């Protein structure tokens, strides 16, 4: 099984360019099958989750042509199969977007229950509530979600919880329904705006995405479009925290500074210098971070997908930080891994109390999920000595060429596929 092996201690210094947003791309790829004409999608991130989604839409009959690593042309005209069988779809969270897309276009879908990182219960009741409100019958049988409707009609829907997935999913189905839909208590994350903009580029009539009320007037069909995906807010935030954790100096390029405000504010509070440019942010680390308190919240609050990265930085701060996770209930497993590197923390309910230490030391640890895995790599790069991280398939699901981007910043890190690779690394770097 592949591992990362790294020798820590080098401050990461230099420039890094951010790829397209994985979570926006997943919604956009699912939505692209709703058109019967060519849809060209640019700035696609080259990560596993995206490849799995492309395979799934190819398997149901969409024409998928990868023009280059970051560009794909999709045409949903050939879709004959509304039952998604791809085994990969049980592994990723965003498989549920095919329900909204197929229900909106064909009035029917049959999709396996979604997978994704094990960071909490992750119910989908709000998605189903929205589909039912639009007039669909919904049943869950043998681990599959089946939805069917003779005619979808616009509705006034009030979400009980702020959910990124439910907002995108119901928005997609409503975009091809009859009449007006109003989504209240909608999520406001940047990728919701991106999916809405993409749907509008295919002819949808969606207003208000990015606020908590989204208004949709259904249209009968979509047409051809060309669309470029926004930069990944979480990948950008991860590299910004890489500068803080390794006491480095990183120019993070190709991002949207507005999307980074909660993250920039915390880095400044921790003592880093944060310089903002039109489409870049430079973060200059500090010899010792200051402790802070963070509570994860829906956008524009501090993102839950940045919680392990800020938790790792807190573990190196001078003093006690309080971290509260308010979105998912099982997102602290990385703290156990960090403790093997010398970190000191205590979890009580959804709160972690983290007492900073002066340094981490290398250890053999494993990536518990996608974002935790990335944070642990940053910890390993800050640690004294050698760290190995197993289960890196989690990280490869969502970070494009992670180790290569880190190496370009001066990190001593290799992908090791076997014992021989590990020994070779030790001989050269150990
Ligand atoms: C998406 C992101 C994930 C990110 C999360 C929050 C994708 C593929 N994944 O996940 O990386 O961490 O947003 O920003 O885009 N909930 C319900 N019922 C529902 C749906 C959600 O109770 O029907 C709850 C969840 O358990 C959670 C909260 O609402 O407590 C937010 O979840 P949601 O925003 O839906 O997350 P995902 O869309 O799964």
In the predicted structure, residue 295 carries a pLDDT above the cut 90: yes
CB atoms within 10 A of CB 116: 18
Pocket test of ligand 1: the residue of 123, 160, 163 to mutate, having most ligand atoms within 8 Å of its CB, is 163
Average pLDDT over residues 328-345: 94
Average pLDDT over residues 64-74: 97
**pLDDT value, residue 404:** 97
Tokens at residue 148, please? 């069917």
Give the torsion sign (CA, 93, 83, 203, 177). Answer: negative
Lowest pLDDT segment from 56-60, 176-180, 241-245 = 56-60
Nearest CA to ligand 1 atom 13: 164
Nearest CA to ligand 1 atom 17: 123
Query: In sequence order, what are the residues at sequence separation of 6 or more whose Cβ sits closer than 8 angstroms to the Cβ of residue 217?
Result: 154, 179, 180, 205
**pLDDT value, residue 85:** 80
Average pLDDT over residues 323-342: 94
Atom of ligand 1 nearest to the CA of 164: 34
Pocket test of ligand 1: the residue of 129, 158, 162, 165 to mutate, having most ligand atoms within 8 Å of its CB, is 165
Average pLDDT over residues 10-16: 97
126 three-class SS: helix
User: Fold match between 3-19+289-429 and 22-228?
Assistant: yes
Q: What is the DSSP string of 338-380?
A: HHTTT-EEEEETTEEEEE--S--B--EEE--SHHHHHHHHHHH
Global pTM reads: 0.96
Nearest CA to ligand 1 atom 35: 163
**pLDDT value, residue 116:** 62
pLDDT in tens, 340-364: 999 999 999 999 999 999 999 999 9
Query: In sequence order, what are the residues at sequence separation of 6 or more whose Cβ sits closer than 8 angstroms to the Cβ of residue 295?
Result: 301, 302, 323, 324, 326
In the predicted structure, residue 408 carries a pLDDT above the cut 80: yes
Fold of 22-228: UDP-n-acetylglucosamine1-carboxyvinyl-transferase; Chain (3.65.10)
CA 399 to centroid of ligand 1, rounded, Å: 19
Average pLDDT over residues 259-278: 98
Atom of ligand 1 nearest to the CA of 126: 23
93 band by pLDDT with thresholds 50, 70 and 90: confident
CA dist 147 and 132 (Å) reads 9
Tokens at residue 269, please? 């509070």
pLDDT in tens, 23-50: 999 999 999 999 999 999 999 999 999 9
Map out the domains of the chain as residue ranges: 3-19+289-429, 22-228
- Rounded to a whole number of angstroms, the CA Rg of the chain reads 22
84 band by pLDDT with thresholds 50, 70 and 90: confident
Q: Is 272 a catalytic residue?
A: no
CA 123 to centroid of ligand 1, rounded, Å: 8
117 band by pLDDT with thresholds 50, 70 and 90: low
pLDDT in tens, 375-386: 999 999 999 999
Atom of ligand 1 nearest to the CA of 116: 8
Average pLDDT over residues 403-409: 98
Average pLDDT over the chain, rounded to an integer:
95
**Sheet harboring 249-253: ordered strands across?**
13-17, 249-253, 280-284, 273-276
Nearest CA to ligand 1 atom 11: 305
- Residues in the ligand 1 pocket, defined by CB under 6 Å: 23, 26, 93-94, 120-127, 161, 163-166, 187, 303-305, 327-328
Assign domain 3-19+289-429 to a CATH class: alpha beta
Percent with pLDDT over 90 in the chain? 87
CA dihedral 406, 280, 50, 114 (to 10 degrees): 100
**pLDDT value, residue 250:** 98
Catalytic residue selected from 117, 272, 344, 368: 117
**pLDDT value, residue 119:** 63
Nearest CA to ligand 1 atom 29: 163
In the predicted structure, residue 429 carries a pLDDT above the cut 90: no
């Amino acid at each position: 099984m592949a591992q990362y092996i790294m020798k820590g201690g080098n401050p990461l210094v230099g420039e890094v360019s951010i790829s397209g947003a994985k979570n926006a791309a997943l919604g956009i790829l699912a939505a692209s099958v709703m058109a019967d004409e060519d849809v060209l999608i640019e700035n696609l991130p080259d990560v596993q989750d995206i490849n799995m989604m492309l395979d799934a839409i190819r398997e149901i009959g969409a024409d998928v042509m990868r023009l280059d690593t970051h560009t794909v042309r999709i045409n949903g005209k050939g879709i004959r199969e509304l039952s998604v069988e791809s085994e990969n779809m049980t592994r990723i969270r965003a498989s549920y977007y095919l329900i909204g897309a197929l229900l909106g276009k064909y009035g029917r879908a049959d999709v396996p229950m979604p997978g994704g990182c094990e960071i909490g219960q992750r119910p989908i009741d709000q998605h189903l509530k929205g589909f039912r409100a639009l007039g669909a019958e919904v049943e869950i049988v043998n681990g599959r979600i089946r939805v069917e409707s003779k005619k979808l009609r616009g509705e006034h829907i009030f979400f009980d919880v702020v959910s990124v997935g439910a907002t995108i999913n119901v928005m997609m189905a409503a975009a091809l329904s009859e009449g007006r839909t109003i989504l209240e208590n909608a999520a406001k994350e940047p990728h919701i705006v991106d999916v809405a903009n993409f749907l509008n580029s295919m002819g949808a009539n969606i207003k208000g995405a990015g606020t908590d009320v989204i208004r949709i007037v259904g249209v009968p069909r979509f047409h051809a479009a060309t669309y470029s995906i926004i930069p990944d807010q979480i990948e950008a935030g991860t590299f910004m925290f890489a500068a803080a954790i390794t006491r480095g100096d990183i120019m993070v390029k190709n991002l949207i500074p507005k999307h980074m405000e909660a993250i920039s504010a915390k880095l400044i509070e921790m003592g880093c210098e944060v310089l903002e440019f039109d489409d870049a942010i430079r973060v200059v680390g500090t010899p010792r971070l200051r402790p802070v308190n963070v509570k994860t919240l829906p956008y524009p609050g501090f993102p839950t997908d940045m919680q392990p990265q800020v938790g790792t930085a807190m573990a190196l701060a001078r003093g006690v930080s309080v971290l509260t996770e308010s979105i998912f209930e099982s997102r602290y497993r990385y703290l156990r891994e960090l403790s093997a590197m010398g970190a000191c923390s205590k979890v009580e309910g959804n709160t972690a109390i983290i007492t900073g230490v002066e340094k981490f030391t290398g250890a053999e640890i494993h990536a518990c999920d996608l974002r935790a895995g990335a944070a642990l790599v940053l910890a390993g790069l800050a640690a004294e000595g050698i760290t190995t991280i197993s289960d890196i398939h989690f990280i490869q699901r969502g970070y494009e060429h992670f180790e290569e981007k880190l190496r370009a910043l001066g990190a001593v890190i290799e992908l090791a596929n076997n014992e021989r690779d590990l020994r070779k690394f030790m001989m050269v770097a150990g």
